[in-house]
Structure 1
Amino acid sequence: MTSDPDWQTDILGADFEACAFQAAGADGIERTATLVRHLQPGRGPARAVLFLHGWSDYFFNAELAEFWTGRGFQFFAIDMHNHGRSLRPDAPGGYVADLADYDAEITAAFRIIGSLRPEGADPPSVTLMGHSTGGLIAALWASRHPGLASQLILDSPWLEMHGSPAVRRATRTVVGPLARFRPESVIRLPERAFYWRSISSAAEGEWSLDDKYRPPHAFPVRAGWLSAVLAGQARVARGLKIEIPILVMISGASANGMFWKESMRSTDAVLDVNMIALRALGLGRTVTLERIDGALHDVFLSAPRVRKDAYARLARWIQAYVLDDGRAE
């Protein structure tokens, strides 16, 4: 990993900087990731938050960064390898064979954040936040690396497949052999862009998305990647025993199907929120579940009035579990 990150002005504008870095996993392979930070002159290093995006996605939500820095946090986001700013032309977009392959770059990001403190100051307390597949990755990382993150916030984490655990087990049985022998083979699934349609300003949403970093139909689903997700979900189903406080935020309802329907403007059109709620209970000892009526799959990309509700609930939890965490200032 580069010891002295080279920060450059980010694609989000002058208020953001990014640095690419490499981290070697347990397999010895070095992978490139990109750390993004929101600049906040004059703010102290006491607390920070690190955000992990979902699959086939990248960090673009400047409003989320401003929420955190407005409350005195340093804000960072990581575009994980094979995603967003970290995409490389010789690598398949979104692909990973084992979700633990992200561990090295997340741990490296924590080290970079800690290195930015003034000389003699303690490293900041870091809250880890993840969306969708990034939420699954964040939960698994926190369970494998106790003592590094101070709190865990999950925005519609992909903790379980639709319907029931039986769906996951059946899918794993079918995908397993292909993942072992041809892990990068593409699984042909119906293409749907309903969620993209609900958020992109190029369709019916309000968010400006770069299709190079976040393709409307997502990256191809590959056998090895799907097998890695299913294995991660199986670990969640067995219980993770995470000790730090956890907040899980989900929509009040899901909408699924092969055709667009108007309810997809105000529901999770990607995941089964009831299964997420069920699996959330097994993440750790202190879990808060917030259901946000009218929310999309990414709660913080929902309609303005819904986001206002979500941010108010998040602020209330921060006050209780982060700012008033029982430790001396």
Structure 2
Amino acid sequence: MNLFGVHAREYVAKDRLIYGNRHGQILSSTHLRPTLASLDLAHMTIEHERKTPASQSSSADAAESDLEELSEELLTDSPPEEWVADYLPHCSRMTLPLGEDFEGPVSATLVRCDQDPEPGSALPPVLQIHGWTDYFYNLPMAYQWIERGHRFYALDLRKYGRSLREHQTPGHIEDLTEYDAEINAACAVIAAENPELPAPVISAHSTGGLVATLWAERHARGASALVLNSPWLELAGQSPARAAAEGIVTPLNRVNPTAELKVPRPENYWQSMSSQAHGEWELHPRWRPRVSFPMTMGWLKAVFAGHRRVRQGLDLDVPVLVLLAEKSAFRTQWNEQFQESDSVLDVDLLARRSHKLSRVVTIVRIPRAMHDIFASAEQVRNAAFQETSKWLRGYVG
């Protein structure tokens, strides 16, 4: 992650959505993105706003609505321990209550694909965990897991996607270990529904890959395997620049963890993904907006702490597969290369950091893959899943 283009001179206002034409002109740039070392502090501002506890908003129940109808409202909690219809076809969702934090009630959401694999399959279920400014929407990926013989579940973490509520700061957290609560709750539901099956395979993307990795370190034998899709294991840039960034964030976090780091948030990656631009995916405008969620000091501190733990070296006791794009491409404007390369993370740095996860780690580079490898072009994501399936046969079955 590169702080989402902090070098750019084009600033995006906090809540402004800039819509483009799917067939509009493709703008390119020959200038590579500078590393974090070139971060211009003169153009960074901090916005302070500490929210007080609030009751949960009373938006209308949209469980039976389609994506377009959901676009203006967030969801409400489902009844306790009850599956309700999800907006994705043939899927259900269940709210996982997590108590309260300083903003009010907190919950996560477990999504289940209701199609079962072939009868008699003894393969472990799959639990998918999304990345930053993201949620579960990728049904083609889910169907591939089901066709392979796995029951499929996905987790929308607190303050993301189906779990985001009006009173919350999107994506905000101050310690990645807090996510243990929803991952453990999801695993408990999965185990109760599949008592005869092994622990789930955790398939996690980007920031979710970092979260899942650290969770697996703390929960021995909690997963049958980790499939990490472009896991965010380190901040891009040279070591001194990373240390400088952490040195900036740490004291500001002490003052106000919810203060936002005001930096440009380009929509380049969204353009590569969305069917409203150059991509193929229909994305929820509030769960996966055109620009990323604002970055808070608390969130940055939590992520930096996770990176530091990976840097120190882990010794995971589960098989680990790391899927990475073949190359990265950084530009200030949207470029066609973004649809065939990782435009968010430095994949070579991720490959080096992946060796810190365990004594045995399998790294597979996927040609023409985007940052989210399983959301890349159909031929690319199919090739990636074939590699995943081949690896699973050796380690899981």
TM beyond 0.5? yes
Bigger relative contact order, structure 1 or 2 (CA pairs below 8 A, ≥6 apart): 2
Q: Distance in 1 between matches of 2:249 and 2:262?
A: 12
Give CA-to-partner distance per residue, 1:183-216, whole Å, 9 cap, x none: 1011011120111100100111011111121111
Q: Aligned partner of 1:316: which letter?
A: K
Is residue 8 from structure 1 mapped to residue 84 from structure 2 by the alignment?
Answer: yes
TM-score, normalised via structure 1 length: 0.92
Query: How far does residue 318 in structure 1 lie from its aligned partner after superposition?
Result: 1.3
1:36 maps onto 2:143 in alignment: no
One-letter identity of the residue aligned with 2:108: A
Which residue in the other structure is 1:86 paired with?
A: 163
The secondary structure found in structure 2 opposite 1:37 is strand
- State the partner residue of 1:103: 180
How far the C-alpha of 1:257 sits from its partner, in A, is: 2.9
Matched, 1:306 2:380: yes
1:3: Cα distance to partner?
Answer: 11
In 1, Cα distance between equivalents of 2:198 and 2:349: 34
Map of 1:326 onto structure 2: none
Match of 1:154 among 211, 228, 244: 228
Among 228, 231, 238, the alignment partner of 2:305 is 231
* Counterpart AA for 2:396: V
1:267-309 C-alpha deviation (Å, 9 max, x unpaired): 1000010110000001012200010111000001111221121
Who is 2:147 aligned against? 70
In structure 1, C-alpha distance between the alignment counterparts of 2:98 and 2:227, rounded to whole Å: 24
CA contact (8 A) 2:233 2:354 kept: yes
Structure 2 counterpart of 1:199, from 250, 259, 273: 273
> In the TM superposition, what whole-angstrom CA distance separates every residue of 1:116-148 from its partner, at most 9, and x where no partner exists?
13xxx5343311111000000000000011111
Aligned counterpart in structure 2 of residue 145 of structure 1, from 219, 226, 235: 219
CA contact (8 A) 1:25 1:104 kept: no
Q: Could you tell me how far 1:4 is from its partner in structure 2?
A: 6.4
Distance 1:308 1:45, change over 3 A: closer
1: CA distance, partners of 2:101 / 2:296:
22
| Contact 1:45 1:74 (8 Å CA) reproduced | no
Residue of structure 1 in register with 2:97 after alignment: 22
For each residue in 1:250-275, what CA deviation from the matched residue of structure 2 results, as whole angstroms up to 9, or x when unmatched? 10011113222221121100001011
Call closer, same or farther: CA 1:170–1:58 in 2, change over 3 Å.
Answer: same
Distance 1:167 1:43, change over 3 A: farther
Helix, strand or coil: the match of 1:92?
coil
Matched, 1:56 2:133: yes
Cα distance change of structure 1 residues 3 and 279 upon mapping to structure 2, 3 Å threshold: farther
Note if contact 1:240-1:284 (Cα within 8 Å) is conserved in structure 2: yes
Q: CA deviation at 1:163?
A: 2.2
Contact 2:80-2:95 at 8 Å conserved across structures: no
Q: CA deviation at 1:34?
A: 0.2
Stretch of structure 1 that moved more, 268-277 or 309-318: 309-318
Instruction: Tell me the distance in 2 between the aligned counterparts of 1:146 and 1:167.
Output: 34
Q: Do the aligned residues in 2 keep the contact of 1:252 with 1:295 (CA within 8 Å)?
A: yes
Deviation at 1:5, TM superposition (A): 1.9
- Show CA shifts across 1:28-48 (max 9, x none): x97300000111246457310
Residue 32 of structure 1 aligns to a residue in which SS?
strand
Structure 1 position 149, deviation (Å): 0.6
Q: Which runs of 5+ in 2 are unaligned?
A: 1-77
One-letter amino acid of the counterpart of residue 245, structure 2: T
Instruction: Give yes or no for contact 1:56–1:83 (8 Å, CA) kept in 2.
Output: yes
Task: Tell me if 1:319 matches 2:393.
Answer: yes
In the alignment, the residues of structure 2 paired with residue 89 and residue 36 of structure 1 have an alpha-carbon distance, to the nearest angstrom, of: 21
Name the structure 2 match of 1:189.
263
Residue in 1 that maps onto 2:37? none
Identity of aligned residues (%): 41
Distance in 2, matches of 1:26 and 1:284, equals 34
Partner of 2:243: 169
Distance 2:394 2:371 in 1: 25
Matched letter for residue 160 of structure 1: E
- Contact 1:159–1:279, Cα closer than 8 Å, also in 2: yes
Q: Distance in 2 between matches of 1:8 and 1:26?
A: 25
Give the number of the structure whose alpha-carbon radius of gyration is greater.
Answer: 2
- Within 5 Å, which residues of 2 pair with 1:198-277? 198-277=272-351
